[in-house]
Structure 1
Amino acid sequence: MKLNTLVLLFSGVALLATGCKKEKEFDPNAPDALFTNRDTLVNPADDFFMYANGGWFGKNPIPDSERSNGIFRTIQDTINNQIMQICEKSAQAKAEKGSNKQKIGDFYASGMDTIAIDKAGINPLQKEMAKIDAVKDVPSLLNTIAYMHTIGTSPAFGFYLGQDDKISTKYALFFSQGGLGLGNRDYYFNTDAETTNIRAEYVKHMEAMSKLMGNDADVSKKNAVVIMKLETDLARASRKLEELRDPVKNYNKMAIGKFKAMTPNIDWNKVLPQLNVVAKADSVIVGQPEFYASLDKMVTSYSVEEWKTYLKWNLVNSYASFLSSDIEKQNFKFYATVLSGVAKQKPRWKRVVEQTDGSLGELIGQVYVEEYLPKGTKEKLLEIGNNIRDVYAEHIKKLDWMSAQTKAKALNKLSKIVMKVGYPDKWKDMSSVTIDKGSYCANVMAVNKWDYNYMISKYGKPVDRTEWSMYPQTYNAYYNPSNNEIVVPACNILVPGYEGRMPDDAILYGIIGGSTFGHEITHGFDDQGSQYDENGNLNNWWTKEDLKKFKEKTKLIVAQFNKYEALPGKFVNGDATQGENIADLGGVVMGYEAFKKTAQYKENQKIAKLSPDQRYFLAYGYAWMVNIKNESLSQQIMTDVHSPAKFRINGPLSNIPEFYKAFNIKEGSKMRQAEKDRVIIW
């Protein structure tokens, strides 16, 4: 699914750590996080991110087991504790076989049984290993690659079923670039010292993993060289992160026959059935045709034995976290320590809780909603969301750069945005999934197979626009352009520091209003979302003149963020992050405009010696209170379409005159854009 995701907070309505108790009214005399989180030795005109959050960072260093610390980590810890309670209660219950509690409890118990996991070693993958060993030629190789996609791995290429970008009422088959153990193609080619070292460490990691798979030192060294060479060729044919953001250039619909003609060594009519595509498929959408032209050559230029080496690596790499401790620790050493700077693993219970939620979140969500979600959550969220939409409409009507014709279409799209909040009205049926206490790895694979088959089963059926792609306990939100919808899960709706009491409106509108609803609605009008119409179809609804003006404005935000140096010599990728940067700017502006309509703002009510304006912008800063390790920050810059948290605060705010006034940001200050460079879009 094509989701403009946002790793975000979302909280503040019914703010309790546990249970469905009644919240207290806001107490202006209680301790105030916005006031105490600040570092008043920092000038807000120099670095508002550190001014707003530096006090908290000083008291809360990043744990060795985490890549970052801040509001997300704090809230996730609360969620993990609640899910742990659900898991442990389920594990201790004598639940009926096949029931939700039995599946949750047995899945969790299998993950906590380290004795059985270590005893099993790599045996849980023996069936799949044997399938790879049986490969004798190119046709059987392609069949096995396809099969591996059905069990939760993604060798050689990317494949998924989703809504057709140009016919949002129909599902389509999508083929994209993929197959890289390092994820991003730039890791294979950048020549800076850090990336060069990562490549060297990756080869060492593959050697170590090969030994753990039972190979001797010489074979393991040879295997690592082969895999690195093969993946480098896949990477060479792959597009850069910023190039993947153009929905038109990455939409190449073609008949199966044309796809086969483009890749003569790959018979897609035989591969598709191995991907469990039962219904007759007449067309596919190929994201990056040049990648498949290269892959077609590679299936014969590399020997069958070399491909088998790569497939075994891909399989073990995908399931390493669920195998014996020696394999799990080696996997952690590279992917967490080398790539992200995380020194030690999280406690076992937390790792298993997070995986249980990741695999069975649909089942856990049902318990979570019943036992932990405060009443009235949906209503309050919709109230704030609709207020944001109202001010958005006001802004569009007043735009001085957009014609009346395009405004009418923008307003029509805005009015038709569907807001899904809290939790779904119906849950997915996972009754066919079999879970037991036997094998942790087998349980994970069973759910992966179910997920895959659930996805494929949609082919040829009408699109279900009621479906959710997140759980109510997931600390995240998204805009889906194909449905023209925003989805805001209930989660714990917790604002740290305001447990048991309602925050003031500045916090509600800075966090839920600006960083959530305003941000996600703006995704419908960012550089990608603006190319989809009110029905979710990739369809230009702009006049030529208005589109030109819009692109000129987006160029300004790209230029602004290209200047931000996150680490010495490492700058934010303004092209790759522009969609999220546009959404952040639109979100904070719309949240502020909605906040101005509240009694707190109109009465100029001061709380903790802070004016309404100061509280709103500090609340926005609180929404992105994230301190991150340098290694993880470097990884984010290379692989993520979101800017680092510091620039998600400093970047948008530096364009807003009301922010200048609230904190006395004078001309020439770092936190104030020169008027000619100021970005004003929505």
Structure 2
Amino acid sequence: MYFIKKMIFATAIATVLYNCSKKEQTFVDPLEINRDTLVDPSQDFFHYANGGWFKKNPIPASEESNGIFRMIQDTINNQIRNICERSAKEESVKGSNKQKIGDFYASGMDSIAIDKAGILPIKSELTKINSINDIPSLLKTIGYLHTIGCDPGFSFYVAQDDKNSSKNALKLLQGGLGLGERDYYFNNDEETKKIRSEYAKHIQLMLKFLGEKPDNIETQTSSILKLETELAKFSRKIEALRNPIKNYNKMSVAQLNATTPNIEWNEMLNNLSIIKVDSVIVGQPEFYKAFNTTVKSFSLNDWKNYLKWNLINSYASYLSKDINEQNFKFYSTVLNGIKVQKPRWKRIVQQTDSSLGELIGQVYVEEYLPKGTKEKLLEIGNNIRSVYAEHIKKLDWMSNVTKQKALYKLSKIVMKVGYPDKWKDMSSVVIDKNSYCKNVMNINKWEYNYYISKLGKPVDRQEWMMYPQTYNAYYNPSNNEICVPACNIIVPGFEGRMPDDAVLYGIIGGSTFGHEITHGFDDQGSQYDENGNLNNWWTAEDLEKFKAKTVLIVNQFNKYKIENKNINGDATQGENIADLGGVVMGFEAFKKTNQYKTNQSIGGLTPDKRYFLAYGYAWMVNHQKEALMRRIMVDVHSPAQYRVNGALSNIPDFYKAFNILPGSPMYQPADLRVMIW
């Protein structure tokens, strides 16, 4: 919901990282050694740039992917592990950040206590479900389960009103599906049918862990699948969720009640601990009409079975070994091709960071972040913004009226980099060493209350939706802002030295700042104005020209295929537009550097070649086949291979650098090349 995108960080201050007292080792340039020179760059640039590394580094059995993301994430995990283990060993003041980090980590590492507890940590929730005896008690229990991090029946969250970004609103969305994406319930290819079959077996085993009677489990599973399939039937496809106008249906609570007579929404909101709300934004009204029908068309026993499944599915990772391993077998092995679980410490480190990242971030910034990181990132970001403005001024397809509005929006983009100036207050969260699952539940409750407490309050535009140690970035259209956390500022292979500008601008400039800024002008972001409101600022003629260009990129990516599945050009168009805009702006900013102007070659690679190889390095990721197939169905990002090949095949400077000729797979005829920004 925050337009989150993968990003890479690079070295900010070389002198901070380089120990001059040690003899400098011979530098091995990753752009040179990562290549597979047996691959012709005009045939497949992605594997030319990265194939050498892939050959030497197969995907570990415990991972769904391997590549630059994994290398950097491993570094982050080791740093967070150090924070967690030191905190667990120290005698810290109760309620302090270190006490919470240490006790949470210790509770997760105590596998003996977790196995001994079995399903005891969720016993009281199961009792609530078993006590349902009418529709009001059903809706009350659904509401309660949402407050502890489950998502039965539907989804919702609190965020800025798309048409009034100064106010927070309650947004009701489709949800409640154990398989996540609706097409898993209906596609009839052999692979998807196999997943549905394995899903049914998985549910049966999880119900068995809950102590359900063996004779009833098959019938219970059938009812769960029927209920989820009914909800899926009225869920929109992933590409249909990209239209912010069609997914904005504001109505009063009274109007919502009129469309869903089986649900009294004032009471339902009370069940969700939400008070004093007079209007809601319904993303998919047809879904809520279907949810209203299922409340009565499915029996209370059907709903109890579904809620028990939703509960254990939400908490399986924090329960005993048998439950955890079965959950891993389906969601990691069947869906993503991961053969074995990561070591326990890695799993608990990642969960500690996920749950208490706000607290870990404060330690991380103090202990691992070099001084000057914010300044260096802002320098590159502002350089990208400058060339973006130059590009907009020169566009031959946009009128001056729209150009001025685009330039104004660009000038108003807020850049949040490094780490926040103010941290969230988690002092009310209670954490101890007694129960890992209960600790997670307590944090889920805190997070839930934190977000619903925003209703009726002014929007905090300084708030961050990521931690400084989070390997990611985002553009938020409602704030017209980009956020680039500073989790790790080292490009693998450049430890102890400043990467050359080709690398800096290929990675930080192109795939990060340029990418995120372009999200403000992609098929979704372009519908929001400089203040973050859903408001058309285009002339009718310019808007039609823009849409014609987005059709070209949709058509381009629809032609790409992985294994037996085509990429969904509609669903991925926003990311594809951002990738293209990012690599173009990164290159234009790089042209202003001394390295480019003096045509300085490094390792036998010209500046042009280094830049495009660096962009390929930014997306050096290899996925398990199963994970790749799943991503094509559920991810709005194209597979890494086409984030590189697809974007670069539109750029004349790339053709010149690598001698891309007509007839080669990387060659796009001039009339089909996409150039938007």
**Is the CA contact 1:28–1:608 (under 8 Å) kept in the aligned structure 2?**
no
Q: Secondary structure at the match of 1:34?
A: helix
**Is the CA contact 1:13–1:493 (under 8 Å) kept in the aligned structure 2?**
yes
Q: Which residue of 2 aligns with 1:517?
A: 513
Provide the C-alpha distance between the structure 2 equivalents of 1:410 and 1:143, rounded to a whole number of angstroms.
Answer: 47
Deviation digits for residues 202-260 of structure 1, max 9, x if unmatched?
00000011111112322221111111110000000100000000000000000100000
Q: Which residue of 2 aligns with 1:205?
A: 202
AA aligned opposite 1:663: F
Q: Which residue of 1 aligns with 2:442?
A: 446
Deviation digits for residues 98-155 of structure 1, max 9, x if unmatched?
0000000000000000000000000000111111111111111111111111100100
1:382-397 mapped onto 2 (5 Å cutoff)? 382-397=378-393
**Number of aligned residue pairs:** 675
Give TM-score, length-normalised by structure 2: 0.99
Q: Which residue of 2 aligns with 1:250?
A: 247
Q: Judge which range, 420-429 or 207-216, deviates more.
A: 207-216
Q: Which residue of 1 aligns with 2:5?
A: 6
| Aligned with residue 376 of structure 2, among 374, 380, 401 | 380
Q: Does 1:576 align with 2:575?
A: no
Provide the C-alpha distance between the structure 1 equivalents of 2:9 and 2:559, rounded to a whole number of angstroms.
Answer: 29
Q: Which residue of 1 aligns with 2:614?
A: 619
Q: CA deviation at 1:276?
A: 1.3
**Is the CA contact 1:4–1:479 (under 8 Å) kept in the aligned structure 2?**
yes
Q: Percent identity?
A: 70
**Is the CA contact 2:609–2:657 (under 8 Å) kept in the aligned structure 1?**
yes
Deviation digits for residues 541-597 of structure 1, max 9, x if unmatched?
000000000000000000000000111x20100000000000000000000000000
Q: Does 1:455 align with 2:455?
A: no
**Is the CA contact 1:23–1:501 (under 8 Å) kept in the aligned structure 2?**
no
Q: CA deviation at 1:11?
A: 2.6
**Is the CA contact 1:416–1:484 (under 8 Å) kept in the aligned structure 2?**
yes
**Is the CA contact 2:249–2:282 (under 8 Å) kept in the aligned structure 1?**
yes
| Aligned with residue 227 of structure 2, among 218, 225, 230 | 230
Q: Does 1:150 align with 2:147?
A: yes
Provide the C-alpha distance between the structure 2 equivalents of 1:305 and 1:410, rounded to a whole number of angstroms.
Answer: 55
Provide the C-alpha distance between the structure 2 equivalents of 1:371 and 1:14, rounded to a whole number of angstroms.
Answer: 15
Q: Which residue of 1 aligns with 2:100?
A: 103
Query: What is the aligned-residue RMSD (CA, Å)?
Result: 1.2
Provide the C-alpha distance between the structure 2 equivalents of 1:658 and 1:264, rounded to a whole number of angstroms.
Answer: 60
Change (3 A) 1:446 1:592: same
Deviation digits for residues 626-651 of structure 1, max 9, x if unmatched?
01111000000000000000000000
| Aligned with residue 280 of structure 2, among 252, 273, 284 | 284
Provide the C-alpha distance between the structure 2 equivalents of 1:152 and 1:63, rounded to a whole number of angstroms.
Answer: 31
Q: Which residue of 1 aligns with 2:598?
A: 603
| Aligned with residue 187 of structure 1, among 184, 187, 211 | 184
Q: Which residue of 2 aligns with 1:533?
A: 529
Provide the C-alpha distance between the structure 1 equivalents of 2:26 and 2:205, rounded to a whole number of angstroms.
Answer: 58
**Is the CA contact 2:10–2:499 (under 8 Å) kept in the aligned structure 1?**
no
Provide the C-alpha distance between the structure 2 equivalents of 1:274 and 1:296, rounded to a whole number of angstroms.
Answer: 16
Instruction: List runs of 5+ in structure 1 lacking aligned partners.
Output: none
Provide the C-alpha distance between the structure 2 equivalents of 1:428 and 1:301, rounded to a whole number of angstroms.
Answer: 43
Provide the C-alpha distance between the structure 2 equivalents of 1:23 and 1:631, rounded to a whole number of angstroms.
Answer: 43
Q: Which residue of 1 aligns with 2:640?
A: 645
Provide the C-alpha distance between the structure 2 equivalents of 1:457 and 1:135, rounded to a whole number of angstroms.
Answer: 28
Q: Secondary structure at the match of 1:254?
A: strand
AA aligned opposite 2:106: A
Provide the C-alpha distance between the structure 1 equivalents of 2:485 and 2:289, rounded to a whole number of angstroms.
Answer: 40
Q: Which residue of 2 aligns with 1:83?
A: 80
Change (3 A) 1:491 1:14: farther
Q: Secondary structure at the match of 1:458?
A: coil
Q: CA deviation at 1:23?
A: 7.2
Moved over 6 A (4+): none
Q: Judge which range, 4-13 or 294-303, deviates more.
A: 4-13
Q: Which residue of 1 aligns with 2:121?
A: 124
Q: Which residue of 1 aligns with 2:432?
A: 436
Deviation digits for residues 380-435 of structure 1, max 9, x if unmatched?
00000000000000000000000000000000000000000000000000000000
1:206-605 mapped onto 2 (5 Å cutoff)? 206-278=203-275, 280-567=276-563, 569-605=564-600
AA aligned opposite 1:334: F
AA aligned opposite 1:666: L
Provide the C-alpha distance between the structure 2 equivalents of 1:302 and 1:89, rounded to a whole number of angstroms.
Answer: 51
Provide the C-alpha distance between the structure 2 equivalents of 1:28 and 1:460, rounded to a whole number of angstroms.
Answer: 58
Q: Secondary structure at the match of 1:421?
A: strand
Q: Which residue of 1 aligns with 2:626?
A: 631
Q: Does 1:665 align with 2:660?
A: yes
Deviation digits for residues 509-558 of structure 1, max 9, x if unmatched?
00000000000000000000000000000000000000000000000000
AA aligned opposite 1:72: F
Instruction: List runs of 5+ in structure 2 lacking aligned partners.
Output: none
Provide the C-alpha distance between the structure 2 equivalents of 1:184 and 1:328, rounded to a whole number of angstroms.
Answer: 22
Provide the C-alpha distance between the structure 2 equivalents of 1:461 and 1:148, rounded to a whole number of angstroms.
Answer: 25
Deviation digits for residues 250-275 of structure 1, max 9, x if unmatched?
00000100000000000001011111
Provide the C-alpha distance between the structure 2 equivalents of 1:655 and 1:180, rounded to a whole number of angstroms.
Answer: 38
Q: CA deviation at 1:669?
A: 1.4
| Aligned with residue 165 of structure 1, among 162, 165, 169 | 162
Q: CA deviation at 1:7?
A: 2.0
AA aligned opposite 1:387: N
Q: Secondary structure at the match of 1:87?
A: helix
Deviation digits for residues 644-675 of structure 1, max 9, x if unmatched?
00000000000000000101111221111111
AA aligned opposite 2:419: Y
Provide the C-alpha distance between the structure 2 equivalents of 1:562 and 1:157, rounded to a whole number of angstroms.
Answer: 31
**Is the CA contact 2:17–2:495 (under 8 Å) kept in the aligned structure 1?**
no
Q: Does 1:41 align with 2:38?
A: yes
